[in-house]
Amino acid sequence: MMSTLPGELYAYQEIAKRMNQVFWADNPEQTKNLFLVGNYEELYGRSAAPLESDPLDWLNAVHPDDREAVEARLPLQAAGSFDMTFRVVHPDGTLKWLHDRAFLVRDPEGKPLYHAGIVEDVTEARLLEERLRQDQTMTAIGALAGGVAHDFNNLLAIVLGNLDIALAGDLPAPLHEALTRALDAADRGAGLTRRLLAYSRRQLLTPGPIDGAAFLRGRKALIEDVLGAEISLRIAIEDGLWTCFADDRDLETALVNLAINGHEAMTAGGTLTIAADNVRLDARYATRHAAVTAGDYVRFSVTDTGAGMTAAVVDQAFEPFFTTKGVGHVSGLGLAMAYGFARQSGGHITLHSAPGKGTTVELYLPRLVPGPNDGAGPAA
């Protein structure tokens, strides 16, 4: 702590720490730090000692993409005010969003006395804003995809019906073969609309009790076939796993699609781990994640040892038809379908990935609890 300011200001030390803030003051020329209290090391990820000789040492923690903008606005302090939100990078790579507000204090004659400011950690607020924005985007995309899929499905029903009628007649072999190919293509189109409806949460689900442990053991061979010989499958199930409430067919589809994604990510082989455990999401978690209800969930986690994704790819991974593959490659709907299934089931889905660290998708499904009349329903 450094200070030539009145001693009573030190009373703010505990306040600043508890509020995860930093109170600071520099001389008018910004060549000397006069006062510093709070969680500087925690917010900036670096020692406060260099500030004694260089009050602008904190700039070295600013994210490279933000530093130019921050430096460009520093002269505003001399004009009387500075108000900006920016990112800092800790030595371990952790990113934090900080909000710095500063102003110039003058004596009664108007002579500058010092620059004073407050820095606060706004990381959680920024992350929540981003999640809300992403949720709104996904909802809008889902509404569009669902509307198109619904109308297209109606048109396909007419096509499929007429093809069935035509194929029932006595047709020359070439024509019968051509109509059969057309029927197969229309069936694939109907499958696509079902996947889009799943993403938009408009598909018809038949939820019921699912014993997650028995469910995973019963699908082990199926998933091993999907992965092939180059990738090993590991299944980890928590003792006393709760019963969850969802559509078992769609859960199987979601896990198989996630396994396929993992297979594609592990081009040189590897290990896919599917784990199931009990999780209680509290009110604080629900507040920080859009459209999540606090409660008990069964979490199915699918982890691969592949190349991982960048943050930019993670942000778009749940969007339908988003792909990092080149033109001409299939754009899958696996993650988008899992997203729609989780949301329509009253659950939640997250994706964690980083380059070189693989990918984990966590699917949360509501725990089944007895109802008031000995029935059952989701806990969340």
Give every CB contact of residue 157 below 8 A, 6+ residues apart in sequence: none
pLDDT, greater one: 132 or 140: 132
Helices (H), 74-211: 75-79, 123-167, 173-199
pTM beyond 0.95: the answer is no
- Kindly tell me if the per-residue pLDDT of 4 is higher than 50: no
Band (pLDDT 50/70/90 cuts) for residue 9 is low
Cβ count within 10 A of residue 295:
19
Alpha carbons 145 and 125: distance in angstroms, whole number: 30
Give me the amino acid identity at 112.
P
Band (pLDDT 50/70/90 cuts) for residue 33 is confident
**Domains of the chain by range and CATH?**
7-121 (3.30.450.20), 128-199 (1.10.287), 208-378 (3.30.565.10)
Which residues share a beta bridge with 362?
A: 301, 350
β-strands 270-281, 231-237: how paired? parallel
- Kindly tell me if the per-residue pLDDT of 236 is higher than 70: yes
Residue 373 burial class via C-beta count within 10 angstroms: exposed 0-12, middle 13-18, buried 19 and up: exposed
The conformation of residue 241, written as its DSSP 8-state character, comes to P
- Kindly tell me if the per-residue pLDDT of 307 is higher than 50: yes
- Kindly tell me if the per-residue pLDDT of 204 is higher than 50: yes
Query: What confidence score (pLDDT) does residue 211 get?
Result: 96
- Averaged pLDDT of the chain: 80
pLDDT, greater one: 168 or 359: 359
Listed range (211-215, 305-309, 334-338) with the worst mean pLDDT: 334-338
User: Structure tokens of 76?
Assistant: 């505003």
Question: pLDDT for 147-194, tens place per residue?
Answer: 566 666 666 777 778 888 888 878 888 888 888 888 777 777 766 666
pLDDT, greater one: 7 or 230: 230
Helices (H), the chain: 12-18, 40-44, 64-73, 75-79, 123-167, 173-199, 212-227, 248-265, 283-288, 311-316, 334-344
User: 28, 113 in Cβ contact below 8 A?
Assistant: yes
Tokens 């702590």 correspond to what residue?
1
Alpha carbons 292 and 198: distance in angstroms, whole number: 19
Band (pLDDT 50/70/90 cuts) for residue 339 is confident
- State the first-to-last Cα distance of the chain, in angstroms, to the nearest integer: 47
- Kindly tell me if the per-residue pLDDT of 73 is higher than 80: yes
